[in-house]
Amino acid sequence: MVGATRGFSRYASTPSTGAPGAVAAIGTSAMAGPTLMEVIRGLSGSNVETIERGKTIFFPGDPAERVYLLRRGAVRLSRVYESGEEITVALLRENSLFGVLSLLTGQRSDRFYHAIAFTRVEMVTAPATSVRRAIEQDASVGLLLLQGLSSRILQTETMIETLTHRDMSSRLVSFLLVLCRDFGVPSSEGITIDLRLSHQAIAEAIGSTRVTITRLLGDLRNDGLVQIDRKKITVFDPIALAKRFS
């Protein structure tokens, strides 16, 4: 059991705690130039904003004028329906770009999504016009943005894989593995998901109900695959967990 650390790197992202002042680059490329974070920070009209957990960053229908780059914390993008139901479209991790879409698909437009701070959030923002100008002046900025969007697409598409699993047990397992990849920090016992997740939040993300999540998480815990302490989930062994697919 102890020796099975090979392959874990897929699940251990850049730690989100500690590492003060370290501005991680998007992806894993060890580039020479400035990071996207530094570029956006340097734009005219740029800003650093801090948002408390649970507060809204933008509502659907708001005018889309700024671009956001997440520096610390997690953001939830969701669609809201008339029924009041809210569907999580993406859980963004650090160094994720968002709010970019509407600006680049052409004409000025409004937000589609509801963006709320899933944890306390620190982010760098800049006006869309500045970003556009920066791309035109320096092609490497375009490349950085492309990398950001690419990783966002990958993130989104693994979410689709998760959601197409038929039975809820598989969905939950798949979702936990995604969370390990995006928010996992290695710990003494395994990989801890650095988010405070309520069962309700998980249910909204994978299209289930609170009760079912409770039961399934209980099963996983009873089988010694995960540990839950004050809303923090620790996965002992992602590989063993992955065997749990139906």
Partner DNA sequence: ATGGCGTGTCGGGCTGGCTGCTGATCCTGA
Partner DNA sequence: TCAGGATCAGCAGCCAGCCCGACACGCCAT
List of residues contacting DNA (CB under 7 A): 166-169, 197-201, 207-212, 214-218, 228, 230-231
CB of 221 to DNA, least distance (A): 7
Query: Does residue 107 bind a copy of itself (CB under 8 A)?
Result: yes
Q: Is 76 left (phi over 0), alpha (psi -120 to 50) or beta?
A: beta
Of 81, 74, 38, the residue nearest 60 (C-alpha): 81
Contact pick of 1, 3, 6, 28 for a copy of itself (by CB under 8 A) = 28
> In the complex, what is the shortest distance from the CB of residue 102 to a copy of itself, in angstroms, rounded to a whole number?
8
Radius of gyration of the chain from Cα atoms?
A: 19
Sign of CA dihedral 37, 41, 47, 49: positive
Task: Pick the binder of a copy of itself from 160, 222, 230, 243 (CB under 8 A).
Answer: 160
Question: To the nearest whole angstrom, how small is the minimum distance from the Cβ of residue 229 to a copy of itself?
Answer: 28
DSSP string over 175-213: HHHHHHHHHEEE-SSSEEE-S---HHHHHHHHT--HHHH
Residue 218: what are its φ and ψ, rounded to 5°? -60, -40
Residue with tokens 């900025």: 141
165 binds a copy of itself (CB under 8 A): yes
> Binding partner of residue 199 among DNA, a copy of itself, none, CB under 5 to 8 Å per kind?
DNA
Residues that bind a copy of itself (CB under 8 A): 27-29, 77, 79, 87-90, 100-101, 104-107, 112, 132, 135-143, 145-147, 149-154, 156-157, 159-161, 163-166, 205-208
